[in-house]
């Protein structure tokens, strides 16, 4: 039977550690400000969850809600003020943004040292150069989850299905740091099924419900499912067919309760790290 890699349980461990570390701090508490634009229901749920998580671990939290009609210049002006505010250690601009706003431009406007999403070009460069920095929360959480369960990474063949800037690409960089041999696959990869079946560690982030079946998975592989999809019957499922695959692999993340809870936990970790780095300068 496969080991269930519960991100929900591990996120509790991470939050408890953060609460303890915050209680021992002298001086400023970590401060996170989230900017949300428009009325996207999913974004509002995510932002509320982030705010709640901040309060639970003892962070200062602030949410700036802006109308969908806000101009790019107005957002940039707010980011500039937050960059200069010493009480703000982390700045997060909730995605997606309205079409008239350049996501890349806004991401680049956030001070790299306060970029708790890890999207600034400087932090992307630091990630790929093997330097220290703030890196995307979901991939960081996945690597930490694998370490938490003592899953060997060095020398393993890792395949990442998906090449997004949020998950796929940073996941590849982080696994390279762990001395994995990394392949990034995508919609145009030839013989994707066979490539999946050769992987010791399979990370799937494509947004296609239950695409990965047991004959796509190497016996004994570790399977990390980043997907979150809602089937026609209303059930939330990942990109991996959990019931089909779990008897074949050695470890697997469930959906829900797998990778999802790690994202907010490691947003908090990044904020704590940013606070310490900024105050040390």
Asked if 72 is an active-site residue, the reply is no
Residue 25 has pLDDT above 80, yes or no: yes
Active-site entry in 26, 28, 44, 50: 50
Active-site entry in 20, 26, 44, 117: 117
> Phi/psi class of residue 7: alpha, beta or left (left: φ > 0; alpha: ψ in -120 to 50)?
alpha
* Spatial contact of 31 and 87, defined as CB atoms under 8 Å apart: yes
Check residue 51 and give its pLDDT. 94
Question: Global pTM?
Answer: 0.96
- In the chain, where are the structural domains located? 26-111, 137-260
> What topology does CATH give the domain 26-111?
Rossmann fold (3.40.50)
Asked if 44 is an active-site residue, the reply is no
What is the band of 1 on the pLDDT scale with cuts at 50, 70, 90? Answer: confident
Check residue 48 and give its pLDDT. 94
- Kind of pairing, strands 229-230 and 236-237? antiparallel
DSSP H stretches of helix in 85-188 = 103-109, 121-129, 137-148, 168-177
Residue 281 has pLDDT above 80, yes or no: no
Active-site entry in 28, 52, 56, 94: 94
Neighbours of 187 (CB within 10 A): 10
Task: Please indicate whether the domains covering 26-111 and 137-260 agree at the CATH topology level.
Answer: yes
Asked if 50 is an active-site residue, the reply is yes
Neighbours of 51 (CB within 10 A): 16
- What CATH number was assigned to the domain covering residues 137-260? 3.40.50.720
Q: How far apart are CA 162 and CA 176, in angstroms?
A: 16
Instruction: Give 223-246 pLDDT, tens digit per residue.
Output: 999 999 999 898 999 999 999 999
Residues whose CB falls within 8 Å of the CB of residue 99, separated by 6 or more in sequence, listed in order: none
DSSP H stretches of helix in 115-167 = 121-129, 137-148
């Amino acid at each position: 039977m496969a080991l269930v890699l519960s991100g929900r349980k591990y996120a509790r461990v991470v939050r408890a550690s953060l609460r303890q570390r915050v209680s021992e701090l002298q001086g400023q508490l970590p401060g996170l400000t989230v900017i949300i634009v428009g009325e996207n229901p999913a974004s509002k749920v995510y932002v509320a969850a982030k705010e709640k998580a901040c309060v639970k671990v003892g962070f200062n939290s602030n949410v700036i809600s802006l109308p969908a009609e806000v101009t790019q210049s107005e957002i940039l002006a707010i980011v500039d003020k937050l960059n200069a505010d010493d009480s703000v250690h982390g700045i997060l601009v909730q995605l997606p943004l309205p079409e008239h706003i350049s996501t890349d431009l806004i991401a680049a406007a956030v001070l790299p040292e306060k970029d708790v999403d890890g999207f600034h070009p400087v932090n992307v460069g630091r990630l790929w150069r093997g330097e220290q920095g703030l890196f995307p929360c979901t991939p960081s959480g996945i690597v930490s989850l694998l370490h938490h369960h003592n899953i060997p990474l060095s020398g393993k063949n890792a395949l990442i299905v998906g090449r997004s800037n949020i998950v796929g690409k940073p996941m590849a960089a982080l696994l390279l740091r762990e001395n994995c041999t990394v392949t990034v696959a995508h919609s145009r990869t030839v013989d994707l099924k066979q490539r999946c079946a050769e992987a010791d560690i399979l990370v799937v982030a494509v947004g296609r419900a239950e695409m990965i079946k047991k004959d796509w998975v190497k016996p004994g592989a570790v399977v990390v499912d980043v997907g979150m999809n809602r089937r026609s019957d209303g059930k939330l499922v990942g990109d991996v067919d959990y019931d089909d695959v779990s008897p074949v692999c050695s470890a697997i993340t469930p959906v829900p309760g797998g990778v999802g809870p790690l994202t907010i936990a490691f947003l908090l970790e990044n904020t704590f790290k940013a606070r310490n780095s900024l105050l040390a300068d």
